[in-house]
Amino acid sequence: MEGPTPVSALIHAATMVTAGVFLIIRFSPVLEFSTFTLFLLTVFGSLTAFFASLTGTFQNDLKKIIAYSTCSQLGYMVFACGLSHYNVSLFHLANHAFFKALLFLAAGSVIHAIADEQDLRRMGSFLSTLPLTYVAILIGSLALTGFPFLTGFYSKDLILEITQVYRLKNVVYFGSLACVLGNLAVFLTAFYSFRLLFFCFLNSPNTNRQIFKGMAESPF
């Protein structure tokens, strides 16, 4: 589903995409009676977190990378529900809404500055012309990757700690799967986030010279 970046920021951050996770949390008293349902949530959530981050690694569209990261983070929320930690899932949902909205709006600032171009391979060296946008995407990316003392760290690290506890104690046999795939997704998330930053802001310029000279920062 495609749309303008403010719409993407709203949909991917808070309203429609995360509605399913919120519904699972609301149904938590019912789900706790079914071990098989919790098993399915954990397996499909951890697989989603891994495969979405793997897919995001190979994308070249600026918005698609951020969209696949949303899919990956939804996987974290779902398998946290599968491990019966609904409060942690809701905490990550709320944190994710803030940094994902920031990333989409900052991506919109980049796209608007270079005549609606979204291909990372046609960007580069925007740091000097779009410093405020760079800072916004850097903060959002660090929060997404779980950098210490930013919002993503407190919820994402907590989810991974929960999977580690389940793996060590062998409370549920599918806790190990969530632990392994969740940690692999962390490394892939860090890779595609800094790949986006590099190709967009630090790489040598691949933009049309006239567009590059006419670039300007978005109004404050």
Distances (CA, A) of 119 to 37, 65, 99, 123, 170: 40, 11, 22, 7, 45
CA proximity to 91, closest of 83, 101, 80: 80
State pLDDT tens for residues 171-216: 556 778 888 899 999 999 999 999 999 998 888 877 777 777 777 7
pLDDT of 48 reads 94
Segment holding 108, helix H or strand E:
helix 86-113
Distances (CA, A) of 82 to 113, 135, 177: 42, 35, 12
State pLDDT tens for residues 85-100: 999 999 999 999 999 9
The Cα 159–Cα 211 span in angstroms is 43
The Cα 177–Cα 40 span in angstroms is 12
| pTM of the entire predicted model | 0.89
The angle formed by the CA atoms of residues 120, 104 and 21, to the nearest 5 degrees, is 120
- Kindly report the number of other CB atoms within 10 A of residue 211's CB atom: 14
The Cα 170–Cα 49 span in angstroms is 22
State pLDDT tens for residues 116-172: 888 888 888 888 888 899 999 999 999 999 999 998 899 999 999 988 887 666 555
pLDDT of 170 reads 59
8-state DSSP, 170: T
CA proximity to 66, closest of 19, 101, 117: 101
Radius of gyration of the chain from Cα atoms? 18
To which residue do tokens 């799967």 refer? 177
pLDDT of 17 reads 83
- Confidence class of residue 34 from pLDDT cuts 50, 70 and 90? confident
- Confidence class of residue 80 from pLDDT cuts 50, 70 and 90? very high
Share of the chain above pLDDT 90, in %: 48
The Cα 5–Cα 40 span in angstroms is 33
